[in-house]
Amino acid sequence: MRQSHFFCKTLKTNPKEGDAISHKLLLRGNFISQLASGVYSFLPLGLRAHRNIEKIIREEIEKIGGQEVLLPSLQPKEIWLKTKRWDEMDPPLFRVKDRHSKEFALGPTHEEVITGLVKLAIQSYKDLPVALYQIQTKFRNEMRFYGGLMRAREFIMKDLYSFHADKDDLEKFFNKAIGAYEAIFNRCGLKAIKSEASGGIFTKENTYEFQILSEGGEDTIFYCENGDFAQNREIAKVTAGIKCPKCSGTIKEGKSIEVGNIFRFGTVYSEKMKVQFTDASGKKQLVYFGSYGIGLTRLVGTLVELFHDDRGIVWPKVAAPYQAHLIDLRSNLQKGDSAERFALYEKLQKAGIEVLYDDRADISAGEKFADADLIGIPIRLVVSARVDQGKVEVKKRNEQESKIMAVEEAINLIN
Ligand SMILES: [Zn+2]
């Protein structure tokens, strides 16, 4: 992408809005734009990062057998009445009426919709197990909004639901889902702590949240320094400084960001929505059900909370909106459309590299470098009158020193 034609234009100073560092950097780098409090547009840079994370999630969820669907946001009141959640959801549902005064919720989650869908499809034990997931927009009627993407009113979530003939099979899949979540967060460069949390109104069983330690987090967890135990403060039976209940390690306290959660609902939803199957002996049985979420939009914000410095974002390679940022400082070539000018840009593209090309004329080297640091693409390539033909100055975003190397060598480094 040529930056001279690029829709995203960085801001010179931090925006007034923004109560979290990720919020400020994402607004300033023009990754997102605020439409209303807690409601954001994803711009080209932000969407590319988002799509990269979506890809990781799809790959890992499909590995454990998840099949992708896309369910509607408009959900009729009747299905919420069946589970008695029309009035009990917290935060309360966003409600809308159609022109015939029929009421709908804008879905904050899809247990009701998916259970209804599976009820129509499941007859025999041979139809189970089944795992369906989607990457889709959710609406939450929050009391307050925080940190831009960290707590928004409209956001994208990955939600996975699994249906089983018995408790053991649910348990097996539940453990596979834990493995998939660990793989997803590891691939994003994050160390997620699996923390026990309250199951909410529908299950007495402990659920797990996946928490990322961060000063910018809204949650507090107590966790073992050896990584074998953690609880959300809301249910914690431990405090900082005591011995871990599972090993000889010490319990620590930390602020954290919840990026995912997993629930074993058992047969609660099947009872309420009468979802049954016929077992091998011909008897009707209730279906066992699990629900697994990842706040994808929040995950983008979390990466920025964790990976930044005083100059801007430092994207991990897997999430970066582009693989390389090519900065052109050849003042004699910057204007016009000569073949010589675009040769390196085209060579990189031909090598399969996703490159943002700063071809802007009349912008100082200092401003270009400042923008590159703010946007945070992992590798910066500089081409200038000082660098010999066929070579390029290479600097990693997370390192101080730059190196002059042959273009081919730079291509190998990026790929
Ligand atoms: Zn421990």
What is the full DSSP assignment across 339-356? HHHHHHHHHHHHTT--EE
Nearest to 234 by CA among 277, 283, 265, 196: 196
Residue 230 Cα to ligand 1 midpoint, Å, equals 9
Same domain, 266 and 385: no
Same domain, 387 and 341: yes
**pLDDT score at 230:** 97
296-306 vs 21-28: helix axis angle to the nearest 10? 100
Q: Is residue 73 part of a domain?
A: yes
What is the full DSSP assignment across 142-180? -SS-BTGGGB-SEEEEEEEEEEESSHHHHHHHHHHHHHH
Residue 237 Cα to ligand 1 midpoint, Å, equals 14
Question: Consecutive 10-residue runs of the chain (415 residues): their mean pLDDT?
Answer: 94 83 95 94 98 98 98 97 93 97 97 96 97 97 87 96 98 98 98 90 80 95 96 94 96 97 93 95 97 97 97 97 96 74 94 96 94 98 90 97 96 94
Same domain, 333 and 274: no
Residue 225 Cα to ligand 1 midpoint, Å, equals 6
CA 290, CA 160: separation in Å to the nearest integer? Answer: 8
Would you mind telling me the total number of residues written for the chain in this entry? 415
Q: Is residue 48 part of a domain?
A: yes
Exposed e or buried b per residue across 108-125, where buried means at least 16 C-beta atoms within 10 angstroms of its C-beta: bbbbbbbbbebbeebeeb
Residue 247 Cα to ligand 1 midpoint, Å, equals 4
Same domain, 296 and 341: no
CA 351, CA 414: separation in Å to the nearest integer? Answer: 10
Q: Is residue 134 part of a domain?
A: yes
Q: Is residue 317 part of a domain?
A: no
Residue 239 Cα to ligand 1 midpoint, Å, equals 13
**pLDDT score at 272:** 92
Residue 236 Cα to ligand 1 midpoint, Å, equals 15
**pLDDT score at 249:** 96
**pLDDT score at 202:** 66
**pLDDT score at 282:** 97
335, two tokens = 């204007």
| CA 198 to each of CA 75, 193, 236, 292: distance values in angstroms, whole numbers, following the listed order | 26, 16, 10, 14
CA 37, CA 34: separation in Å to the nearest integer? Answer: 7
Side chain identity, residue 241: G
End-to-end CA distance of the chain: 18
Query: Domains in the chain: how many in total?
Result: 2
Q: Is residue 193 part of a domain?
A: yes
CA 8, CA 372: separation in Å to the nearest integer? Answer: 13
159, two tokens = 């939600």
Residue 251 Cα to ligand 1 midpoint, Å, equals 7
Q: How far is CA 212 from the centre of its chain?
A: 12
Residue 220 Cα to ligand 1 midpoint, Å, equals 18
Q: Is residue 188 part of a domain?
A: yes
Residue 151 Cα to ligand 1 midpoint, Å, equals 31
Same domain, 161 and 239: yes
Residue 252 Cα to ligand 1 midpoint, Å, equals 10
Same domain, 85 and 167: yes
Domain boundary among 246, 276, 309: 309
Where is 21: in which H helix or E strand?
Answer: helix 21-28
Residue 77 Cα to ligand 1 midpoint, Å, equals 45
Q: Is residue 161 part of a domain?
A: yes
Domain, as residue range, for 333: 322-414
Residue 185 Cα to ligand 1 midpoint, Å, equals 21
Same domain, 347 and 250: no
Q: What is the CATH number of the domain that holds 295?
A: 3.30.930.10
Same domain, 153 and 286: yes
Residue 190 Cα to ligand 1 midpoint, Å, equals 20
Same domain, 263 and 362: no
Residue 184 Cα to ligand 1 midpoint, Å, equals 23
> What ipTM was reported for this prediction?
0.99
Residue 300 Cα to ligand 1 midpoint, Å, equals 30
Same domain, 263 and 356: no
Q: Is residue 316 part of a domain?
A: no
Residue 316 Cα to ligand 1 midpoint, Å, equals 29
Q: What is the CATH number of the domain that holds 381?
A: 3.40.50.800
